[in-house]
Amino acid sequence: MLDIKFIRENPDLIKEAVRKKRLNFDVDELLAFEGERSGLLTVVENMRAEQNSFTDKIARASDQVERTAMIDQMRTFKETMAVKEAELKAVTEKWRALMLMVPNVPDITVPEGEDDTGNMEVRKVGELPTFTFTPKSHVELMEMNDMADFERGVKVAGFRGYFLKNDGALLEYAIWMYTLSVMTKKGFTPMVVPSMVRREAFLGTGFIPQSEEDLYKTQDGEYLAGTGEVAMMGYHMDEVLEKADLPKKYLAFSPCFRREIGAHGKDTKGLVRVHEFFKLEQVILCEANHETSVQFHEELTNNSEEIMRGLGLPYHVVVNCGGDLGLGQVKKYDIEAWVPTEGKYRETHSASYFHDFQTRRLNTRYRDDDGKMRFAHSLNNTAIATPRVLVAIVENYQNEDGTIRVPEVLQKFMGKSVMGK
C-alpha cells in the first residue's frame, strides 16, 4: 500500500506504474473517492466536535425547559450525524478496497514488457552440459531409479501429486541441509514458519486481493501460503522495531501450496509445477532507504547464485519486465536453471524488493535515530525451492546408463556420489 498523500501528489507517476505493470486500475476513480472521503471526514469530525460542545452546554443548563429543548435539538443533530457517518463508512470501504489495488512504482531500470517473455537476461553462468547420448527427462530418470512415484502420487493426492522416495527423498533432504548450512553462515536466522496463515498477512504482503484465486482456503477462513514470505512478514506485524536491530535477516522454511490457476496444460508431468512443495525463503527487513534496499536486493540474489554455483548448475539471471511484476514489487530478478531435455532455462528463484509497500499494510515500523516512526523496507528471495530444483540436478548430472551423479556439495549429506543402479 502506498501513502495516500504520495498518491495525491503524484497521480501521473501512479498512472505510469499502472501502465508499466499492465494493470487494470483507475487512478482517477481512487482520487475521486479520496476527495469524497476527505470531505465527509471533515464534516463528521466537525459534527463530533459540535456534539461534544453541545453536550457540555446541556450539562451546564440550569433551566429545565431550556435543557429539554436542547436535548430534543441534540437528538435531531445526532440523527443527521449518523447519516453522515454511514455515508463516510460506505465511501471509506470503497476507498480502502481501491487503495489495496494501487501498484507500487517500479524502478526506472525495470524493462518494458507484457509478460515473462519480456524479461531481459542480465548474466549467464556455467557451461551447458553436452551429452554423447540422448538425455532422459527427470521423470524417466527418477522412475527408472525408483526415486519418485508419480502414478501413486496422483492416486493419493490428485492431479500434480507425487511421492519422492529413496534417493529422491534423500536428495531433497540434502539440498535443504546444504542451503541451511550456506545461509546460516551468512547470518540468517533459521525459522520454521506456518503454512496456514490468516488473511491479514496475505493482505499485508499483497497476495490478496491480486492473487487470491491461486490460494487454497480452509473452511475456517485461513489460507495455505505459497511461500514462507507470508508468515515471515506477518511475524513483525503491528510491531515497532529499533533501528539498531535492523536489518532483520530470516531464512524461513515451510511447506508451500499453490492451486496453479491458469496453468492448465502446462508442465502436467513431473516436478516443475506441483501443488505442494517446499521452500527455504530469504526475508529481510531493513531501514527505509532506497539505496539500502537495492544493496540487499543484490545480496539476496548473490546468495542464491552462490547456492546454484555450489550445486554446479548452469543458470542465468533475468530482470523481470513491468508486466511480470507483482502489485507490490519495485524490481525483481528471476534465476532460471538449465533443463537439458527442454533446451531452455526454467525459473528456480525470484528476488524482489518492495520498499514500504508491505510494511505499511502490515504496520511494521521502526524508530529512527531522531525518534521518528518509519515503515521498514522489505525484501525476499528464494534460497531454494524443492522439488523443482531436482529437475535441473537430475537432468544435468545424468549418465548414459541412467545413473545420476551427486553434486559434490551434497555428497556429505547423502553419503554417496552416485544415485541409481
Choose the final residue of a domain: 43, 72, 99. 99
The pLDDT assigned to 184 comes to: 97
309 is catalytic: no
Taking the C-alpha atoms of residue 98 and residue 30, their distance in angstroms, rounded to an integer, is 6
Our measurement of the distance from residue 74's CA atom to the centroid of its chain's CA atoms, rounded to an integer in Å, reads 51
C-alpha cell belonging to residue 26? 483507475
254 lies in the same domain as 381 = yes
CB 318 within 8 A of CB 120: yes
**DSSP string for residues in 329-390:** -SEEEEEEEEETTTTEEEEEEEEEE-TTHHHHHHT-EEE-TTS-EEEPEEEEEEEEEETHHH
Task: Compute the C-alpha angle 264/136/388, nearest 5°.
Answer: 45
26 lies in the same domain as 160 = no
In a domain, 182, yes or no: yes
199 is catalytic: no
pLDDT in tens, 124-174: 999 999 999 999 999 999 999 999 999 999 999 999 899 999 999 999 999
pLDDT in tens, 219-251: 999 999 999 999 999 999 999 999 999 999 999
137, 195, 293, 350: the catalytic one is 350
258, 360, 361, 365: the catalytic one is 258
The reported pTM is 0.91
* In the predicted structure, residue 50 carries a pLDDT above the cut 90: no
The pLDDT assigned to 67 comes to: 67
* In the predicted structure, residue 261 carries a pLDDT above the cut 70: no
Q: What is the CATH number of the domain that holds 25?
A: 1.10.287.40
26 lies in the same domain as 151 = no
CB 288 within 8 A of CB 391: no
Domain coverage including residue 123: 116-419
Q: What is the CATH number of the domain that holds 319?
A: 3.30.930.10
Choose the final residue of a domain: 99, 124, 148. 99
C-alpha cell belonging to residue 372? 521518528
34, 276, 299, 347: the catalytic one is 347
The pLDDT assigned to 21 comes to: 97
pLDDT in tens, 165-208: 999 999 999 999 999 999 999 999 999 999 999 999 999 999 99
In a domain, 189, yes or no: yes
32 lies in the same domain as 81 = yes
347 is catalytic: yes
What percent of the chain has a predicted confidence (pLDDT) above 70? 94
The pLDDT assigned to 47 comes to: 84
In a domain, 106, yes or no: no
Looking at the 3D structure of the chain, how many domains does it have?
2
388 is catalytic: yes
Is residue 361 packed enough to be buried (19+ CB in 10 Å), middle (13-18) or exposed (0-12)?
buried
CB 332 within 8 A of CB 351: yes
Taking the C-alpha atoms of residue 30 and residue 8, their distance in angstroms, rounded to an integer, is 10
* In the predicted structure, residue 74 carries a pLDDT above the cut 80: no
In a domain, 73, yes or no: yes
243 lies in the same domain as 208 = yes
**DSSP string for residues in 217-272:** E-TTS-EE-SSTHHHHHHTTTT-EEEGGGPPEEEEEEEEEE---TT-TTSS-SSSS
Taking the C-alpha atoms of residue 149 and residue 163, their distance in angstroms, rounded to an integer, is 5
In a domain, 111, yes or no: no
Averaged over 1-25, what is the pLDDT?
A: 95
324 lies in the same domain as 410 = yes
160 lies in the same domain as 258 = yes
What percent of the chain has a predicted confidence (pLDDT) above 90? 83
* In the predicted structure, residue 265 carries a pLDDT above the cut 80: no
241 lies in the same domain as 367 = yes
136 lies in the same domain as 161 = yes
139 lies in the same domain as 282 = yes
Mean pLDDT over all residues of the chain?
Answer: 93
The pLDDT assigned to 267 comes to: 65
In a domain, 391, yes or no: yes
52 lies in the same domain as 144 = no
Averaged over 87-94, what is the pLDDT?
A: 94
222 is catalytic: no
| pLDDT band at residue 264 under the 50/70/90 scheme | low
Taking the C-alpha atoms of residue 27 and residue 312, their distance in angstroms, rounded to an integer, is 47
C-alpha cell belonging to residue 21? 505493470
Residue with cell 532506497: 290
Taking the C-alpha atoms of residue 273 and residue 262, their distance in angstroms, rounded to an integer, is 12
84 lies in the same domain as 139 = no
In a domain, 30, yes or no: yes
Taking the C-alpha atoms of residue 401 and residue 262, their distance in angstroms, rounded to an integer, is 38
Q: If we measure between CA atoms, which residue out of 21, 389, 380 comes closest to residue 227?
A: 380
In a domain, 399, yes or no: yes
